[in-house]
Structures are given as C-alpha cells and as structure tokens.
Amino acid sequence: MKIENQSFYFRELLQSISELIKSWIMKSKIIIILLCFFSNIAFGQTVNKINSDWNDLKKAAHQIGFCVFQSDQEICDEHKNELAKREKTTPEDQEVYYFEMKKEWAQNRLTKWSERQEQPIEDFIILFDVAQKSSLEKSTTETFNLFRGFILMDLTDTIDFTFHKKDLNQSMMNIESDEKNALMENALWREFMTGRLGRFSQRIDFKLFGKNAAIDFENFKEAFFVFQKGNK
C-alpha cells in the first residue's frame, strides 16, 4: 500500500513538474516573441529616422544647388532629365554640358576613396553640384553655387560650415575638416572630360548667390549635422 501511495505521489510530482516546465516554456516563447516584436519596432523606427534625416539633407542640399549621395541611400533621380531640359532651351549652334551624378559613378568613387582611406564606405558622402550655373545665370530668388564640382567628405571627421555675406545677392560658403587633406574635390569637367583626379584639401570655399542664401545655408548646415550624428 505504501509503495502504491509513493508511486501515486511520484506521478503527481512528475506531472506538476511537467506542467511547470510547459508553463515556463510557454512564457519564455511569449517573452521571446515580445522581445522580437519590440526590437523590430525599434529597428524600424531607427531606419525611418535615418531615412527621414537623409531626405531632409537631400532637400536642404537642393536648396543651395547641390545633391548628395551615400552608399546606404538610394540615388536621387530628380536631376536625370536636366540635360534634356537645357538642350530644349539652348540655341542649336551652342553646345550644352551637364554632368549627372549617376549611381555607378558615385558608388565607384566612394568605393575607391574608402579603400584608400581604409575605412567603411558608409563613412563617406558626396556633395555634387547639380545647379551647374554660370555667373551670367544669376538669380535673386533661387540660391545656387558656382562650385561646378563635387566634394568627398568623411562623416566621422569634425566638419564645419561657415558663411560670409559679401553683398545682397553674393556670399561665400566654406567647408572645413579638422583633418588635414580630408576633403577631396574635383571640377566636373576635369572628372568627366579628362579623367584626371582631384585635389585633397582641408578647406574648400565657393560662392553662393541668391537673397535667401543665408537661410538656405543654415538649413543645409543643420540637416547635415543631424544626418552626420545619426550616421555615427
């Protein structure tokens, strides 16, 4: 009789332990599911924030006549028809030059630069003149630059932007890195027509035109720093 009772209690004990284990496994699965759920939400929010910051930077760059490219982001396609537009409005006896920032070129440029610097490609960004205007095309309402080139910048460096107003419609914009020869610049005609390399520098200066240049410059500066902070 004692053996039967002991056997009964032992079975009850095993059953209780089994139910506890099942309950623990179920709770663990729920915890894992919840952790995955909230991790996905957090990751999604991070991605959305980066994409939002990038779109803000791209928009701000457009306001001063530039566009931007980074390997993690989609290439901007807002300027792909610019050459065709200019050809329609230019007399037939005049040549039209417009250099488009294409993804293959931009990706290749960043790849070679990152290999040279021995850093991840995500550390770098291209600032590319999409206005490509001459001093004869000055506008008092639209802000644009006379750089007619592109710049490679390292997002891990300390970069500063300064602005100096010369008169009502003309200003100077400066880009400076805390690292020597950290900026690489090249003229568009030199890059695409001759294939010659650009030059390294610590500071780059160029003109901005337009009565709203100061406001547009500040918007670009702020958007750049926000994206740079989120990219580190």
Instruction: Return the pLDDT at 165.
Output: 84
Burial of 190 (0-12, 13-18, 19+ CB in 10 A): middle
User: Any bridge partners for residue 68, and if so which?
Assistant: 127
Q: Please name the residues in contact with 110: beta carbons below 8 A apart, sequence gap of 6 or more.
A: 69, 70, 71, 121, 124, 126, 152
Residue holding tokens 């040279």? 116
**Neighbouring-strand partners of residue 129:** 66
- pLDDT at position 51 is 82
- Residue 35 is predicted with a pLDDT of 53
For residue 24, what are the CA distances in angstroms to 31, 114, 143, 190? 10, 50, 64, 68
Q: What per-residue confidence (pLDDT) applies to 33?
A: 54
What is this structure's pTM? 0.77
Per-residue pLDDT of the chain (232 residues; tens, 9 = 90+): 444 555 556 566 667 666 777 777 666 665 555 454 444 444 444 446 658 999 999 999 999 999 999 999 989 999 989 999 988 888 888 888 899 999 999 999 999 999 999 999 999 999 999 999 876 666 656 888 989 999 999 999 999 999 998 877 789 999 999 998 899 999 999 999 998 888 999 999 999 988 899 999 999 999 999 999 987 6
Please tell me the predicted confidence (pLDDT) of residue 197: 82
**DSSP per residue, 55-86:** HHHHHHHHHTTEEEE-TTSPPP-TTTTHHHHH
